[in-house]
Amino acid sequence: MELQLEFFLLLAAALFCIGIYGLVTSRNAVRVLMSVELLLNAVNLNLMGFSNFLDPQEIKGQVFTIFVITVAAAEAAVGLAIILAIYRNRDTIDMEQFNLLKW
Amino acid sequence: MLQFFSQTIWLIPCYALIGAIFAIPWSPGLIRRTGPRPSGYINILMTFVALVHSIFALVEVRQTGTQFFSFNWLDAASLQINFEMIASPVTVGALILIAGLNFLAQIYAVGYLEMDWGWARFYSLMALFEAGMCALVLCNSLFFSYVILEILTLGTYLLIGFWFNQSLVVTGARDAFLTKRVGDLILLMGVVALLPLAKTWNFQELAIWANTVELDPRLATLLTLALIAGPLAKCAQFPLHLWLDEAMEGPMPATILRNTVVVSTGAWVLIRLEPVIALSSFTINTALWIGGVTAVGASLIAIAQIDIKRILSYSTSAFMGLIFITVGIGEPQIAFSLLLTYAVAMALIIMSLGGIILNNISQDVTQYGALWSRRPVSALCFLVGVGSLVALPPLGDFWGLAELSNTLNGPFLGILLLVNGAIAFSMARVWGLMFTGDPTPMTQRSPEGLWALVLPMTGLAGIALHLPLILSQLNLLPEFPLLTETPVLLLTASTLIGGSAGLVIYWNRNRKGAVTLGSQALQDFFAYDFYTAKLYKLTIVFAVDIISQIIYWIDRFIVDGVVNLVGLITVFSGQTIRYNTSGQTQFYVLSIILGIALLGITLCYPFFDQLNFVLN
C-alpha cells in the first residue's frame, strides 16, 4: 500500500481533534499550551503533506512549516510568560479558577 | 328702504351673538368690582333690537313674499356647501316668537337671578340659544340645521349645568347632553346618507326630490327613521325623554326658553323634513305612535308628579308628542301654528309658577295652598296660560288642536282627546293644590313678585289673550263650520271634563292628605316616570358600561400584555443568555471551534458527495 495524501490529512485531523479535546478539557494551563502545540503540529503535518504531494517543486508548504514552528515557539514562550504572570498573582494554574470575567 | 330689514335678516342671529360676547367680560373673574348686571342689560337690549328688526322684517316679507339668501361656506372638490337662508312669513314669525320670548325671559331673569352672581354666564348662554334658534329658523339647509342643533345641544349642557356645585345639576346636564347627542348623531347618519340620494340639503329641493323619487322601501325606511331620531331626542319623546325631566334642575328663566322654544327646534326640523319623512309609511307610523305613546304616557306621568317643574316638563313632552302626530299625518301648517300657540301658553305657565317658586322656595305642589288670595296676578296668568294650552275656545291652542282633531281619526283622535283631557286634569290639579285650599307653612306669606317678574308675565298674558286675534289677522284660523264638527266638540268636552274632574278632586275642602290611586304600585309607576332611569341603567347604560369595562380589560391585559410580553421576553432572554459568558476561556474556545465547524459544514455541505474519494 502506497502512502497517500489522505492518510496524512486524516492523521493531521486526528491530531488536531486530540489537540482540541485537550485544549477544551484540560484544567492545567500548561497542558492547554501543550494542546495548542499539538494543534500547530497537526497544521504542520498538513502543510508538509500538501507540500510533498501537490507542490513537490516549489515546496512552499515546507517554508510555511518553518514559519509556523518559529512562531509557535515564540507563542509558547509568551504563553508560558502569561501563565507565570497569572500564577504569581493567583497562586494557581487551574483554568477553572480563572473565571473572573463572567457575565 | 322697503327691502332693508328683510335683506339684512341674517343680522338677527348676530345681534344675540354680539350680546353673548359682550356679556362675558362681566364674569366675576374678569370685571371684579362692579357686579354682573350690565351683562344682562346688554343682552336685553340686543334681544330687543333683534325683536324690532324681525317685526319690521315680517311687515316687509308679508308684502314682498318669501326671499332666499345664500352664501358659500365650503367649496371643496365636488362638494359645495352653501349656507342657505329663507325669509318667509313663517320663519320671520318664528324669529319674532323666539326673540320675543327671549326678551321676556331675560327681563324675567333680571328679577329671578337677583341674588345670583352668574349673570354673565347665564345671559351669554341665553343669547347663544337665541342666536342658535334664530339661525335655525332662518336656515334653509338640513346640514346647517344639524350644525345648529348640535351647538344648541352644547348650549343646553352648559345652561343646565349653570349651578354646577349641585350634584343633581351635574347628572342632569350630563344626561341632557348625552341623550340629545345620541339623537343628533343618528340624525347625522340620515343627513349624510341623504346627500348622495338627493344631491342637496336644501329643504325646498328635498321636498321636490321627495315628491318624484322612487326609493327602495327599506332604504327609505332606514333613512327616514334616522331623520326622525334627532327630533325624537330634541323633543324629549319616548324613550329619550328623561333628559327633560332632569333638565328641570337648571335655572327657571332658562326653563322658560327650553320648554317652549328649544324643544321646538327638534319639531321645527321634523316639520321641515315632513316631505322626506313621508317617503316611508313605516316611519310615518313610527312617528305617529311615538308621538301618541309619548303624549299619553307623559300626560299621565305629569298627573302623578309632585314637583311643579316636572309637571311642566312632562306636559312639554306630551305636547311635543302631539306635534309628532301632526307631522305624522302630514299637516306641517297645523304643526307650525300649534308650536306658536303652545310656546306662548307654556311660557306663561312657567313664568307664573316660577315666580311662585322664587318666593316660596319649595317646588313641591303638596306644600302649597291658598295662593289665590295672595298671588292673584300669578294665578290669573296661570289660568290664561292653561286656557291657552288646552283646547278651550276661544284661546290660542284651541284652534290648532281643533284643526288637528278634524283631520285625525281612529285611535289618534282618541289619543288627542285623552291627552288634552289629561293635561287639563293635571293643570286643574296644580290649580287645586297650589291656589286653593288652606294656607300651608310654605305659603303663609307669599308676596307677589318684583316688577321684573310680573311685567313679562302679564305682558305675555296679554299676548296670549290676543293670540286668537293675531291668528285671525294672519289668516291662520280655521273656517267657522269646522267648529261644529263632532271631533271639535269632543275636544272641548275633553278639556271641560278633564279640568272639572281635576277641580272636583283637588278643590275639595274636605279632602285630607294626598289623593291616592287604588294601587300604590300603579301610582309609583307613574310617579317614577315608568322607572325610565332604572330602565336606562339596566339596558343601555349597563351594556355600554360592561362593554367598556371588557374593552378596558382587554386593552389593559391583552393588548398591553402582548407588547409588554415582547419586552419581558427580551429582558428574560438577556438575563438568561448572559450565562454564556461563563468566564471560562476554554468555553470560549469551544464556542469558537463549534462556530467554525458549523460554518465549515454549512459552506462545505454542497461538496460533501465529492468527499467519497476518501472512502474509495
Whether B433 and B289 map to the same domain: the answer is yes
- In this structure, the answer to whether residues B264 and B345 fall within a common structural domain is no
Q: Is residue B380 located within the same domain as residue B440?
A: yes
Whether B122 and B265 map to the same domain: the answer is: no
**What share of residues in chain A are helix, strand, coil (percent, to 5)?**
80, 0, 20
- pLDDT value at residue B613: 58
Binning pLDDT at 50, 70 and 90, where does residue B474 land? confident
For residues B513 and B593, state if they share a domain: no
Reduced to 3 states (helix: H, G, I; strand: E, B; else coil), residue B205 is: helix
CB contact under 8 A, B581 and A96: no
CA distance B585 to chain A (A): 8
Q: What is the pLDDT of residues B14-24, one digit of tens each?
A: 999 999 999 99
Reported confidence tier of residue B120, pLDDT bands at 50, 70, 90: very high
B583 interfacial to chain A (CB closer than 8 Å): yes
The pLDDT value recorded for residue A63 is 94
B576 touches chain A (CB under 8 A): no
The rounded distance, in Å, linking the Cα atoms of B17 and B125 is 10
Measure in Å the smallest separation between the Cα of A10 and chain B Cα atoms. 10
| B45 falls within a domain | yes
Q: How far apart are CA B278 and CA A49, in angstroms?
A: 105
Residue B114 sits at φ, ψ, to 5 deg, of -55, -40
Contact B584 A95 (CB under 8 A): yes
* CA-based radius of gyration for chain A: 17
C-alpha cell recorded at residue B419 = 291627552
At which residue does the C-alpha cell 289665590 appear?
Answer: B372
Residues B503, B511 contacting (CB under 8 angstroms): no
User: Residue B612's pLDDT band (boundaries 50, 70, 90)?
Assistant: low
Task: Give the end of a domain, one of B256, B278, B300.
Answer: B278
Whether residue B27 lies inside any domain: the answer is yes
Closest C-alpha among B60, B22, B68 to residue B44: B22
Give the 3-state secondary structure of residue B307.
strand
* pLDDT value of residue B609: 76
B608 touches chain A (CB under 8 A): no
Residues of B in contact with A32 (CB under 8 A): 586
Angstroms from B591 CA to nearest CA on chain A: 10
| Cβ pair B183, B233 in contact under 8 A | yes
B590 inside 8 A of chain A by CB: yes
The type of residue at B111 is G
- Torsion angle of alpha carbons A69, A73, A79, A82, nearest 10°? -160
What does the block give as the cell for B283? 316611519
Taking CB atoms and an 8 Å limit, are B584 and A96 in contact across chains?
yes
Q: What type of residue is A70?
A: T
Shared domain for B261 and B290, answered yes or no, is no
pLDDT at B292: 94
Model confidence pLDDT, tens digit, residues B539-568: 999 999 999 999 999 999 999 999 999 999
As separate numbers, helices (DSSP H) first and strands (DSSP E) second, chain B gives 27, 2
Cβ-Cβ contacts under 8 Å for B182 (sequence gap 6 or more): B229, B233, B240
Residue B305 binned pLDDT confidence (cut-offs 50, 70, 90)? very high
Distance of alpha carbon B259 from its chain centroid, rounded?
9
A32·B586 Cβ contact <8 A: yes
Enumerate long-range contacts of B61-67, CB under 8 Å, 24 or more apart: B61/B6, B61/B87, B61/B88, B61/B89, B61/B92, B62/B89, B63/B2, B64/B2, B64/B3, B64/B6, B67/B6, B67/B7, B67/B9
- Measure the CA–CA gap between B480 and B563, rounded to whole angstroms: 79
Q: For residue B86, report the phi and psi dihedrals to the nearest 5 degrees.
A: -135, 130
Of the pLDDT bands very low, low, confident and very high (cuts 50, 70, 90), residue B64 is confident
CB contact under 8 A, A20 and B578: no
Domain boundary among B84, B115, B140: B140
Which among B71-75, B295-299, B358-362, B409-413 has the top mean pLDDT? B295-299
| 3-class secondary-structure state, position B70 | strand
Q: Which residues of A touch B579 (CB under 8 A)?
A: 103
Separation of alpha carbons A33 and A28, rounded Å: 9
Q: 297645523: which residue's cell? A: B334
Please tell me whether residues B207 and B305 are part of one structural domain.
no
Would the pLDDT of B616 be above 60?
no
Alpha helix ranges (H) inside B474-539: 486-506, 520-527, 532-538
CA–CA dist B562, B214 (Å, integer): 52
Quote the mean pLDDT of chain B.
90
What was the pLDDT predicted at B614?
Answer: 54
For residue B465, how many other CB atoms are within 10 A of its CB?
17
Per-residue pLDDT for chain A (103 aa), expressed as one digit of tens each?
A: 778 888 999 999 999 999 999 999 999 999 999 999 999 999 999 999 999 999 889 999 999 999 999 999 999 999 999 999 999 999 999 999 888 888 8
User: Which residues in A have their CB inside 8 Å of a CB on B?
Assistant: 6, 10, 20, 23-26, 32, 95-96, 98-103
Closest approach of B588 to chain A, Cα-based (Å): 9
Structural domain boundaries, residue B64: 1-140
Q: Is residue B611 in a domain?
A: yes
Residue B532 maps to a domain = no
**At B407, is the pLDDT very low, low, confident or very high (cuts 50, 70, 90)?**
confident
Residues sharing a CB contact under 8 Å with residue B407, sequence separation 6 or more, in sequence order: B329, B331, B334
Select from B140, B161, B178 the last residue of a domain.
B140
Q: Are B132 and B218 in the same domain? A: no
Domain count, chain B: 4
Q: Are residues B272 and B301 in the same domain?
A: no
Per mean pLDDT, which range of A44-58, B454-468, B497-511 is the poorest?
B497-511
Beta bridge partners of B141: B202
pLDDT reading at B261 higher than 60: yes
Mean pLDDT of B262-271: 87
Give the model's confidence band at B490: pLDDT under 50 very low, under 70 low, under 90 confident, else very high.
confident
Nearest CA distance, A21 vs chain B (angstrom): 9
**pLDDT for position B108:** 94
Q: Do B593 and A24 touch (CB under 8 A)?
A: yes
Model confidence at B607, pLDDT cuts 50, 70, 90, reads: confident
* DSSP 8-state secondary structure symbol assigned to residue B479: P
As a whole number of Å, the CA-based R_g of chain B is: 32
Give how far Cα B468 sits from Cα of B268, B406, B462, B516, B597, Å: 22, 19, 11, 38, 108
Residue B2's pLDDT is what?
Answer: 64
Domain for residue B65, yes or no? yes
Residue B295 has pLDDT above 90, yes or no: yes
Q: Which three cell numbers stand for residue B202?
A: 336644501
Q: Is the pLDDT of residue B257 over 80?
A: no
In 3D space, the residue among B229, B257, B231 whose CA is nearest the CA of residue B98 turns out to be B257
Domain match, B498 and B381 both: yes
Please indicate if any CB of chain A lies within 8 Å of the CB of B579.
Answer: yes
Grid cell digits, residue B590: 469551544
What percent of chain B stands above pLDDT 90?
63
- B514 domain-assigned: yes
Closest residue in A to B590 (Cα) is A24
Which helix (H) or strand (E) element contains residue B192?
A: helix B167-198
- Measure CB to CB from residue A102 to each of B581, B593, B613 and give the nearest one: B581
Q: Are residues B274 and B286 in the same domain?
A: no
pLDDT of amino acid B488: 85
Residue of B nearest to A32 (CA): B586
Tell me which residue has cell 326653563: B255
- Contact B614/A102, CB-based, under 8 Å? no
Residue B92 is assigned to a structural domain of this protein: yes
Q: Any bridge partners for residue B64, and if so which?
A: none
This prediction's pTM? 0.84
CB distance B593–A20 less than 8 Å?
yes
Residues B80 and B159 in one domain: no
Rounded CA separation B444/B370 (Å): 9
Contact B585 A100 (CB under 8 A): no
Instruction: With cut-offs at 50, 70 and 90, classify the pLDDT of residue B611.
Output: low
Least CB-CB distance to A102: which of B583, B586, B614?
A: B583
Cβ–Cβ pairs < 8 A, chains A and B: 35
Dihedral Cα B116, B118, B124, B125, nearest 10 deg? -80
Q: ipTM value of the model?
A: 0.90
- Residue B509: pLDDT over 80: no
B120: in domain: yes
Peptide bond into B393 cis (omega under 30): no
B61: cell is: 316679507
B596 interface with A at CB cutoff 8 Å: no
